[in-house]
Structure 1
Amino acid sequence: MQVKKIYAGIGIALGAVAWMAPACADQLADIKGRGELTCGVFSNVQPFSYPNAQTRQLEGMDVDLCAAVAKHIGVKAKLEPLAVEARIPQLKLGRVDIVVANLAYTKARATQIDFSDSYYSTNEVLVVKKADANKKLSDFAGQKISAADGSTSAQSIPLSIKGGQAVTFHDTSSAFLALEQNKVKGFVTNRMTATEIVKQVAGTDGAVAIASEPMLVEPIAVGLRKNEPAMLEAVNKALGAMEQSGEMSSIFDKWLGPKTPYGLTRTDKVTPIDQLKFTPLS
């Protein structure tokens, strides 16, 4: 009887180990096994990830980056459109393998997810009515300023504008609409999105401008799940190879470079975040 109990105990223990095994499985091995990398990207934020007007298929800088990282890993890319505020939760829940959605590093995010090496840096900027274009950030002290919920744009408001009151909305379009409707005095977003918005409304009664004084500088990286060292190494290896081959610069120039409406010149290189000089958001 005692022997049966011992074998029964061993059986239960082995069953528990077998049940736990999938949870402890290596993410990179799992991705290679199914031949697919699920990338969380924006659902509609130009020029990062947005639907093509004709094909309705997602395209943009982040879409190309996802495809390139997947190719270097040796699998296909599968795109999963996400709202701004859903990027971290969906990654933590395992519904996407990585997030490539203009994701800026912050201290709070780094406690929840891991970040790859940074592949470029961006500025948060203040979009205002054209009449306010020459005002300094200090002129907006204590004012209501809009931004997308869950974005570093929202976090940057009280840090860059004394007494600035962040008013957040579900998405970028709604946050900008608040400025158009005079519900706020300014709207914060990244420089690329701001440039596109300024161009879209130029010459209309709702014309806006980017305030001359910039806000925070932020390193942008790929978001990954915590405690997946093999996956983190694979993504960093892919980014490094893209930097060395010139592929990273080609993707940047295609969507943000001098010949695009944004007119940016890439001066950054793929660099570990802990080697960058910047003031991280909390």
Structure 2
Amino acid sequence: MSRRTIPATLSLVALAVALAGCGAGGDGSGGAAPAAPAEPPAVAADEALAALVPASVSADGNLVFGTDASYPPNEFTDTDGTTIIGMDVDLATAVAQKLGLTATFENSQFSGIIPGIQSARYEAGISSFTINDERIETVDMISYFSAGTSLAVAAGNPEGLTPDTLCGRAIGVQSGTVQAEDVVARSEACTAAGQQPIAITELQAQTDVNLALTANRIVGMLADSPVAAYAVTTTEGAVEVVGEPYDTAPYGIAIGKDQGQFAQAVQGAVQALIDDGTYAGILEKWDVSNGAIPTAEVSS
């Protein structure tokens, strides 16, 4: 499952700084930040879906999303350090357009997004949230992607690592993620079996975990599958992913409860984008097509 399955009370940093030789950077790569891919074409509004959006949301013509822009390629900042880009951003922009609205994005600590939806600061949240029972007690969620956990290592896998052979090794994870829980559980299993515990490096930003790997301060990292795959493509061959993702689960767009047919409007917009090929184009742009789902569903 995603890094985003942990309860929303946990704090994450909101913004990753640019990765360079002397620090951690905005593309999460451990190398120079690539230029953002071209913008996808605008999407035509669907009047029937737009009519389902409550007036409290549509009145100003904007759909305000909260996001934690520190998780490339899903949501992160462009080379200017301020513009928020990514797969989630492109998809949310297209959803808003389908509903006759303009998407705007506010960078937030991850822990503040769902409370921000509940307080009406944000009208929606898109930030690699995994749909789980705890979340749908407080928000409705519309599925749009599937992700698992991947193990990324130095190119060539010199340590011969797999997710089940991490005992005694230096492994990095981002704080407040399912991977942080996973690596602790794996370490406890190591000691229960009489082996050395995992040497865990837990950092606030995923970009810092990526940098620790490329700088050889750790020998592997556990992260969401699209994030690990993106690190491979942006480190000039320094990183590779071992095996297949595990514990896959859907991401969801979060919206407030008790908002009439808003959830159905968002679900209809995502499904329309899937059906007309816009969705596939966005995923292909960010090289995350293996996370595509055929059907958007509402969890409430």
Same fold (TM over 0.5): yes
In the TM superposition, what is the alpha-carbon distance from 1:179 to its structure 2 partner?
A: 4.1
Contact 2:149–2:246 (CA under 8 A) maintained in structure 1: yes
Decide whether aligned partners of structure 1 residues 128 and 86 sit closer, same or farther in structure 2, where only a CA change above 3 A counts: farther
Larger radius of gyration: 1
Matched residue type, 2:227: T
Matched residue type, 2:232: V
Contact 1:83–1:171 (CA under 8 A) maintained in structure 2: no
Contact 1:133–1:209 (CA under 8 A) maintained in structure 2: no
Quick check: 1:210 aligned with 2:241? yes
Picking from 174, 177, 186, the partner of 2:220 is 186
Which one is further off, 177-186 or 147-156?
177-186
Residue 283 of structure 2 aligns with which residue?
Answer: 252
Distance (whole Å) between structure 1 residues aligned to residue 206 and residue 241 of structure 2: 15
In the TM superposition, what is the alpha-carbon distance from 1:86 to its structure 2 partner?
A: 3.6
| Structure number having the greater helix percentage | 1
Decide whether aligned partners of structure 1 residues 82 and 151 sit closer, same or farther in structure 2, where only a CA change above 3 A counts: farther
Structure 1 length-normalised TM? 0.71
1:46-96 alpha-carbon deviations (Å, 9 max, x no partner)? 222333336953222212112112122222111112344443333334321
Distance (whole Å) between structure 2 residues aligned to residue 142 and residue 89 of structure 1: 38
Residue 207 of structure 2 aligns with which residue?
Answer: 173
Which one is further off, 80-89 or 160-169?
160-169
1:11-30 alignment runs, 5 A limit: 28-30=54-56
Residue 78 of structure 2 aligns with which residue?
Answer: 52
Distance (whole Å) between structure 1 residues aligned to residue 250 and residue 148 of structure 2: 9
1:201-244 alpha-carbon deviations (Å, 9 max, x no partner)? 345xxx33322253321211111223334221221121122222
Distance (whole Å) between structure 2 residues aligned to residue 92 and residue 269 of structure 1: 29
1:123-178 alpha-carbon deviations (Å, 9 max, x no partner)? 21122344456322221147664322333333443566745686542211223344
Contact 2:74–2:87 (CA under 8 A) maintained in structure 1: yes
Quick check: 1:151 aligned with 2:177? yes
Distance (whole Å) between structure 2 residues aligned to residue 147 and residue 55 of structure 1: 24
Decide whether aligned partners of structure 1 residues 218 and 157 sit closer, same or farther in structure 2, where only a CA change above 3 A counts: farther
Contact 1:47–1:60 (CA under 8 A) maintained in structure 2: yes
Quick check: 1:99 aligned with 2:125? yes
SS of 1:243 mapped into structure 2: helix
In the TM superposition, what is the alpha-carbon distance from 1:200 to its structure 2 partner?
A: 3.4
Query: Which ranges of structure 1 fall in alignment gaps of 5 or more residues?
Result: 1-25, 258-263, 275-282
SS of 1:209 mapped into structure 2: strand
Structure 1 consecutive aligned stretches of length 4 or more whose deviation exceeds 6 Å: none
Distance (whole Å) between structure 2 residues aligned to residue 132 and residue 196 of structure 1: 21
Matched residue type, 1:239: V
Greater RCO, CA 8 A, separation 6+: 2
Distance (whole Å) between structure 1 residues aligned to residue 60 and residue 250 of structure 2: 31
Contact 1:126–1:215 (CA under 8 A) maintained in structure 2: no
SS of 1:102 mapped into structure 2: coil
Decide whether aligned partners of structure 1 residues 225 and 154 sit closer, same or farther in structure 2, where only a CA change above 3 A counts: farther
Quick check: 1:31 aligned with 2:65? no
Contact 1:158–1:165 (CA under 8 A) maintained in structure 2: no
Which one is further off, 40-49 or 242-251?
40-49
Contact 2:70–2:206 (CA under 8 A) maintained in structure 1: no
**How many equivalent residue pairs?**
239
Query: Which ranges of structure 2 fall in alignment gaps of 5 or more residues?
Result: 1-51, 191-197
Decide whether aligned partners of structure 1 residues 32 and 156 sit closer, same or farther in structure 2, where only a CA change above 3 A counts: same
Contact 2:179–2:223 (CA under 8 A) maintained in structure 1: yes
1:1-29 alpha-carbon deviations (Å, 9 max, x no partner)? xxxxxxxxxxxxxxxxxxxxxxxxx9832
Contact 1:147–1:189 (CA under 8 A) maintained in structure 2: yes
Contact 1:103–1:220 (CA under 8 A) maintained in structure 2: yes
